Amino acid sequence: MLKDGPTLVGPHAYVSYLPIGPVLAIMPWNFPYWQILRGAMPIVLAGNSYVLKHAPNVQGCARALLDLFAQAEFPEGVFSVINVTNDLVSTAIADRRISAVAVTGSVRAGSAIAAQAGAALKKTLLELGGSDPFVVLADADIDRAVDAAVVGRYQNSGQICIAAKRIILEAPIAAAFTEKFVAKVAKLEFGDPQKPSTYVGPMARTDLRDELANQVHRTLEQGAELLLGGRIPKGVGAFHEPTVLANVKPGMAAFTEETFGPVAALIQAKDEDDALQLANASEFGLSGAIWTQRKDLARKMARGLETGGVFVNGFSASDPRVPIGGVKNSGYGRELSHFGVHEFVNVQTVWFDRT
């Protein structure tokens, strides 16, 4: 249970943070342990129970998490798992025992689930897709920015909501950054995920790989330039080569859509104002990065960036000490930190002797 909090009234009134009950969590496959732990712990710490509906292809992870909570001696029912098809999710949402719904997934899925929950007047938290800008300004440390961009784009085979998908380069450093970035991506080991040295492995499913390949194809048809990769290798597995696209512009598929795989879109900006405008020219607003050695400029641009998180001279990540969540079509609500703990509570005012 959370401690009561003070109010401006003084000793006569306080605020209680009361649990609201079971929260249904509909979770994806791309980080099948961390996504659940980062969502579940704040909810459980607030006194609620957590009901996990995990992705169909990671049910083994769901069972392992269930065992983990049991081994940690959490009370029975605090963490539970339901294994239902997507068609039956609406039944679970409508169940009177469910008080709220948390979703990490696509915009389409999140929108549909939020509509179902809203019809039952149940609170929702949505952490949806992203097309995160990674802005590199003219005074940035190029070598550090390149290293961070490679990790930020290609880790987990690029299948991360907060990956650095749109790399926006101020004109004076665009050529130097591009040359170093392509050279570094070309050295990433690609292939067998069971080899410890492999950095980019297969994608989760062939249909997702094919969708990514289609996005690359359409972007090239729209006038972008292929600097590296771009092919589906022969053989079995949902593989897509690490790919770098240059001269990507607003309206192209790799700019407007979420590319959920190992594809980087390089975008040139005339100046810092143009870079900010390009960064915001997206329906998504999950996270973003700004590279500059001027802290005052970083703070100014951060305030102008339409995202739930901004990382200066680094790449986007989730950390238990700070909140994570988005704006625009990337969703609403926050996970992690004290903001995540207070997301699913009844904020109850208690006032003595008010006359």
Which pLDDT score is estimated for 29?
96
**What is the value of pTM for the model shown?**
0.95
Which pLDDT score is estimated for 87?
79
Give the N- to C-terminal CA distance of the chain in Å, as an integer. 30
**Distance, CA of 62 to CA of 181 (rounded, Å):** 37
Please give the chain's pLDDT, 355 residues, in tens. 799 999 999 999 999 999 999 999 999 999 999 999 999 999 999 999 999 999 999 999 999 999 999 999 999 999 999 998 877 899 999 999 999 999 999 999 999 999 999 999 999 999 999 999 999 999 999 999 999 999 999 999 999 999 999 999 999 999 999 999 999 999 999 999 999 999 999 999 999 999 999 999 999 999 999 999 999 999 999 999 999 999 999 999 999 999 999 999 999 999 999 999 999 999 999 999 999 999 999 999 999 999 999 999 999 999 999 999 999 999 999 999 999 999 999 999 999 999 8
**Distance, CA of 311 to CA of 298 (rounded, Å):** 9
Which pLDDT score is estimated for 70?
97
Catalytic residue among 61, 73, 161, 179: 161
User: Phi-psi region for residue 237, left (φ > 0), alpha (ψ -120 to 50) or beta?
Assistant: left
**Distance, CA of 18 to CA of 349 (rounded, Å):** 11
Catalytic residue among 61, 73, 76, 127: 127
Catalytic residue at 127? yes
Catalytic residue at 161? yes
**Distance, CA of 97 to CA of 346 (rounded, Å):** 16
**Distance, CA of 227 to CA of 229 (rounded, Å):** 7
What domains, with CATH codes, occur in the chain? 5-128+330-351 (3.40.605.10), 132-312 (3.40.309.10)
- Dihedral angle over CA of 31, 328, 169, 202, nearest 10: 30
Which pLDDT score is estimated for 270?
98
Q: Give residue 253's identity as a one-letter amino acid code.
A: A
Nearest to 162 by CA among 289, 39, 320, 277: 289
Helices assigned H by DSSP within the chain? 34-45, 59-71, 89-94, 107-119, 142-154, 171-186, 206-221, 253-256, 272-280, 295-304, 337-341
Q: How far is CA 45 from CA 6, 81, 233, in A?
A: 20, 18, 46
Tracing tokens 């770098």 back to the chain, one arrives at 244
Nearest to 301 by CA among 266, 277, 333, 330: 277
| Other residues' Cβ atoms within 10 Å of the Cβ of residue 36 | 24
